[in-house]
Structures are given as structure tokens and as C-alpha cells.
Homo-oligomer: A and B are copies of this chain.
Amino acid sequence: MDKFMEAALAEAKRSMETGGIPIGSVIVHDEKIIGRGHNQRVQKGSSVLHGEMDALENAGRQPASVYKNSVLYTTLSPCPMCTGAILLYGIPEVVIGENQTFMGEEELLKSRGVKVTVLQAEPCTALMKRFIEQSPQLWNEDIGCE
């Protein structure tokens, strides 16, 4: 796994350790992380701060030129909301840890010209599997199913 997915996974683990949903994300511009975050449903009672959204929020207000030259790394295939945020800001490339525990809107991203790479990284899958087994209700709430 490359260093940026490692950083996203570290965010996911940090979330798990604090009782939250283990999905993490980083946004990389010019080979530097400009925003990192993790799902905040439990920690902040948030319905909008998925991992990718939290990373975007923590990156702060950026000009379009930054987003359009950035790569978003996320440990899990992005849901419709996070996909929409990627499209809004014109982020051209998304690297995904895994899509085996959840398949997001990868086809929509690709249809809009976003480069999508799925690593199928075992540590990302293992973390999510453990979480879903432990907290199926919380997981279903996060993806709008319960």
C-alpha cells in the first residue's frame, strides 16, 4: 500500500479506536496531504462528515486550481454524497482502498471522467469487515439503510 493510503488507513483506525466508523481519507496536492479526516457519525453526531467529507472540510476552503490537481484517497468506495463532493470540486483522481464490503458510485465517477483506482487492500477490507460484524446497525445507518 502506498504512503497516502497508509495515511487514510491510519485515520480509519483512529476512528475505530474512538468508537467510530473506520473509514478514513486524505486529499493529496503536489505530493502533500492538504486534508485528512475520518467518519464523524459517532464522534460528532454528524450525518454529513463521512471520511472523505471530513478530509475535504479539514482541507479548508481551497481554490478550484488546487482541487483540480489533487488526488483523493479513501479506504472505502465512496458513497453517493462523497462522490458528489468529488464531482463538485472537480477532483480528477480517486484511489480507493477496497470496494468489497461496500460498492459506491465508482461508475458515476468514471462516467464523469474521474480516474478511479481500486487497490483491494486487505487491511482496509479486514478493518471494515470487523466493524460491520461488530456494529451492523451503525453501519446501516451510515449508508442510509437503517
A interface residues (Cβ-Cβ under 8 A, vs B): 41, 45-49, 53, 56-57, 59-64, 67, 79-85, 87-90, 105, 140-141, 143-146
- Docked-complex contact B56 and A47, CB < 8 angstroms: yes
> Which of B49, B56, B61, B79 meets A88, CB within 8 Å?
B79
Q: How far is the CA of A79 from the CA of B88 in the complex (A)?
A: 7
10 new A-B contacts, CB < 8 A, other than A80-B83, A88-B144, are: A46-B61, A47-B56, A48-B56, A48-B85, A80-B85, A81-B84, A81-B85, A84-B84, A84-B85, A90-B144
Q: Tell me how far the C-beta of A4 lies from the nearest C-beta in chain B, rounded to whole angstroms.
A: 20
- On chain B, the residues within 8 Å of A41 by CB distance are 61
- Docked-complex contact A45 and B61, CB < 8 angstroms: yes
Closest to A140 in B: B64
- On chain B, the residues within 8 Å of A82 by CB distance are 84
- On chain B, the residues within 8 Å of A62 by CB distance are 47
Q: Tell me how far the C-beta of A59 lies from the nearest C-beta in chain B, rounded to whole angstroms.
A: 7
- On chain B, the residues within 8 Å of A49 by CB distance are 48
